[in-house]
Every structure is written in structure tokens, then in C-alpha cells.
Amino acid sequence: MTAVRSETTPRPTPGGAGFPTGFLWGASTAAYQVEGAATEDGRTPSIWDTFSHTPGKVRNGDTGDIAADHYHRFREDVALMKELGLGAYRFSVSWPRIQPTGRGPAVERGLDFYRRLTDELLAAGITPVATLYHWDLPQELEDAGGWPLRDTAERFADYTALVAGALGDRVPVWTTLNEPWCSAFLGYGSGVHAPGRHEPAATLRAAHHLNLAHGRGVEVLRSLLPESAQTSITLNLHQVRALTSSPEDAEAARRIDAVGNRVFTGPILDGAYPQDLLEDTARIVDWDELVHEGDLKTISGPIDLLGVNYYTPTIVSAAEDGAGDARDDGHGASSHSPWTGAEDVAFHLAPGERTAMNWAVDPEGLYTLLRQVGEAHPELPLMVTENGAAFDDYVSPEGRVEDPERIAYVHSHLDAVRRAIADGTDVRGYFLWSLLDNFEWSYGYAKRFGAIYVDYATQKRIPKSSARWYAEVIRRGGLPA
């Protein structure tokens, strides 16, 4: 039985256009990807500052130093959100702005930025949805050992208390971590993300301590927030499919599902690491030493919502011995596999259209994922906290950005959400990734995911045609007929 708080709001009633009344129509960003102001008001480097400033790690040597300058332009950005009619804005809080060394008291100037941002949102009638951790670990904590070190979870709990103390009166929806799979498996497995390590044992240790950080974070949030506040975690659940019906491919899919999904959903939603995961990875890490008594109880504490991020499915087959170890599985090319404990798996693209990330456009994957999670945890409300696509957008001589491919992508995926709801899944909101073009991690500024185009030379914002289309969807409360 999934641990869901009994005070969780009742399931909303069906609305007019297939989406329930009260459905949150939003857009997401993350601190390091949009804020800039990397050294202002006491902020110190996070692992992403260090990584992006390391030659060869990020395309074109791009960094988040300035990004979309959201730190200075948030008022203009909130005004644009209001114009689009957004019901909610999902942003993340930069840990090194609040606790430059990852420990100790809060820097009030850092908290003030988020106070100003949330006040501006509330004044515009937009619900703030705060994520506490979207990958920007203070560098000092990485120097002390990073996520493979148990103490980092405790540091996260302290940081959570500082942010909840400052914003608890005005933020109604909280997310502990965004996509801990990326933090653990891309950060410590393949190393295509900060801190760029590739150590199999550290990867699994990081996964457990991220789970623990989530659990401790929820405990702290619950002790400080009003009863009405909702807590959640956002997972980038992989919609894993076997390429063929052969037993070998099914086995590859099982192993990827274990280290891609169930390493998080197991302890968080079911209170235990799955037995097959423990067996697959026993040669890499000593789980008995790693998981302390009481950890699973902490990790599986009740939450109110599960955030689901989806872009494309993960299609796998069994690979010849070693053949699957050098890959680009859509998470960035690396000679080190992020899939710690699931070697010898080959990755495949679904046929058909691709985005600029070379990710297959596959809305059925979102439908299936929502249905699968909804059926496994029927009492847990879901929220699509990220979905969207990068395309090679450009400004026309008339100063417009036309992005019909993005409109088609979002349309088909929103229709998948609508169908999942119609078939009985409790989905409470949809957040477009992203509000703005931004720093796309190891791809730098080369990939544009925004509904709003950012001219990085001038920081001018130009709403793309998809932004105007999304505004119309929000206005109608559903898709055009």
C-alpha cells in the first residue's frame, strides 16, 4: 500500500474538456538552468558551476553564469506567465544561494530572491510549486563526499528546514528532489552530469542517500508546513519496453526497470528495495551496510503527490557481452554506462519523428506510463511535472518564432494525459518543460526547450507560437476540438 497522506485532497471532479476542475496548467524551470547571477548575493559554486567551467564537459564551453538571467528578470517573466494564463509555475531553489557551504545558517539575501519570486507569482494569481533540489549540490558538499556520503542526506534535511521556514507560508506544493536518477546515475555513473564521476558503487550509494534525503525532507516539510501544503518527489520514470518478446529482451527490460525506476519507486512508494535489484547489484554494493535500520520507514513516509517527468520511451534489448557498454541512450554519449548493475543492454530509438535531442516522439509512452503508475498506486495522485521537446527554433525576419513541431508534440502528449485521466488515472496537473529556453546541462544552450524563446545576447524574450497555443489550451481548460 503506497504511503499517501490521508489529508490528501479528494480526487477532483471531471471538468469540461477531459481535464478535472482544479487541474494545474503550468510550466517548469530549474535554478541553474535559468537564474544566472552565479556569484551574486552570497551564492557560491555548485557542482554544476564546477562541471560547466571544466573544459570539455559542456558543449561550446557554455555555463549557467548568466543563463536566462531569471534572477534579475523574474518580474518580466512572471508578467509573461500571467499573459499566458499559467495556473502554476514550478521552479527550483538553488541550494548554494541559501547555504553557500551546504551547512549552517541561511543567507537571507538568497531566501529573499525566492520570497520576491513567490510573492510576485501569488500577486499574479499563479501557484508557486517549489522543488528543493534540481541537481545543484553545493560544491563543498561534493568535496566532502557528495551524494555517496550518508551525511549529505542530513545536510539536505537542514537545508529543507531553512527553505520551508522562509517560504512555507506562501508555497502550497513542494517537491523534494527532481529526477534523482539523473543525480545518481548520470552524475556518478556515466559522468555526463556533474560531478562527472563514474564509480558504480558510488552511484548506488548516491541513489540510496537521495532516497533518504527525500524521506528526511518530507519529515521536515511536514513538521514545518501548514496541513494544507502538499509534498511530493519528481521522478523521471523510464517507460521501459523490450524490443522483442524474446526472454532475453524481457530480461534486459527488467534490469533497466530495476535501476531506472524501481530503485526509487520501491523504497519511496512500497517501503522496500526490490529483491531483483538487490540481487543484480549485490556484487557492486553491500546493501546491508548501506541501508540502516529505519531508513526504509523514513524514505516511505506519506506524500501527497508523485511528480512524473516524461519525454520519450526507453526501448531495450539484450546485447552481446560488452556490446552495450558504450552507448548514447539519449542521456548523452559516454564510454561509461549510467545503468549500473544492468550491463549488456542495447538501447533503441522508437521509429518515427525525433526532437532536436534525437528523442523519439511517442505520446503513447506517456499514456502507458501514467496508466502503469496509476494502476500500481491507485491512491496516489500524479502530476506531470515535466514534458516538452527541444527543436531548432529561430527568429524569423519578422521577429516571430514559429514552432509547429512543439505544438504537435505537446498536443499529442496532453491528449495522452487526457486519455489516461478518462481511463481512471488521477492526474492533477501538467507542467510544460520549459517556460523559457535555458541551459540544457551538458548540451549547454544548443537545445531550446522553451515555450518562450530567449535571445541570449540581449535576453529578449519572444513567446513562440507554442506559447500562444498553450495559452489557448489553458483558457479553454483543454485541447481544441
Please tell me the distance from the alpha carbon of residue 409 to that of residue 12, in angstroms, as a whole number: 26
Matching residue, cell 519528481: 234
Nearer to ligand IFM, 178 or 211 (CB): 178
* Shortest distance (Å) from residue 284 CB to ligand IFM: 26
- How many amino acids of this chain bind ligand IFM (CB under 6 A)? 8
CA angle 423, 426, 428 (to 5 degrees): 125
Site membership for ligand IFM, residue 403 (CB under 6 A):
no
Taking alpha carbons only, the member of 280, 257, 263, 268 closest to residue 372 is 257
Query: Shortest Cβ distance from residue 378 to ligand IFM (Å)?
Result: 26
- Residue 386 interacts with ligand IFM (CB under 6 A): yes or no: yes
**Residue 454 interacts with ligand IFM (CB under 6 A)?**
no
Q: Is 365 exposed, middle or buried (0-12, 13-18, 19+ CB in 10 A)?
A: buried
Nearest distance from C-beta of residue 361 to ligand IFM, angstroms: 14
Closest contact distance (angstroms) between CB of 278 and ligand IFM is 28
Query: Which residue in this structure is represented by grid cell 548523452?
Result: 332
Q: Which member of 4, 220, 440, 453 binds ligand IFM (CB under 6 A)?
A: 440
Closer CB to ligand IFM, 33 or 230, in the complex: 33
Residue 280 binding ligand IFM, by CB under 6 A: no
Among residues 35, 120, 142, 386, the one annotated as catalytic is 386
Residue 301 CB, nearest distance to ligand IFM (Å)? 24
| Residue 329 sits in the site that holds ligand IFM (CB under 6 A) | no
Nearer to ligand IFM, 188 or 433 (CB): 433
**Known catalytic residue: 289?**
no
Which member of 30, 171, 360, 389 binds ligand IFM (CB under 6 A)?
Answer: 30
Q: How far is the CB of 135 from ligand IFM (least distance, A)?
A: 7
Least separation, in Å, of the C-beta of 116 and ligand IFM?
23
279 catalytic per annotation: no
For ligand IFM, what does the binding mask look like between residues 309 and 328, x meaning CB under 6 A? x-------------------
Q: Which one of the listed residues 35, 120, 142, 179 is annotated catalytic?
A: 179
CB of 92 to ligand IFM, least distance (A): 9
Query: Which of residues 433, 453, 469, 470 is near ligand IFM by CB under 6 A?
Result: 433
* 35: contact with ligand IFM by CB under 6 A: no
C-beta of 273 vs 391, nearer to ligand IFM: 391
Any contact of residue 77 with ligand IFM (CB under 6 A)? no
**Do 198 and 190 contact (CB within 8 A), yes or no?**
yes
Contact between 86 and ligand IFM (CB under 6 A)?
Answer: no
Please say which residue, 362 or 440, places its beta carbon nearer to ligand IFM.
Answer: 440
- How many whole angstroms separate alpha carbon 194 and alpha carbon 427? 32
Beta bridge mates, 348: 315
Rounded-to-integer distance, Cα 412 and Cα 410, Å:
5
Residue 102 CA to chain centroid, in angstroms? Answer: 21
- Footprint (CB under 6 A) of ligand IFM, residues 118-177: none
Residues 173-232 that bind ligand IFM (CB under 6 A): 179
Which of 256/384 has CB closer to ligand IFM?
384
Is 393 an interacting residue with respect to ligand IFM (CB under 6 A)?
no
Answer whether the bond into residue 223 is a cis peptide, omega within 30°.
Answer: no
- 62 touches ligand IFM by CB under 6 A: no
Residues with catalytic annotation? 179, 386
Q: Which residues in this chain contact ligand IFM in the complex, by CB under 6 A?
A: 30, 33, 179, 309, 386, 433, 440, 449
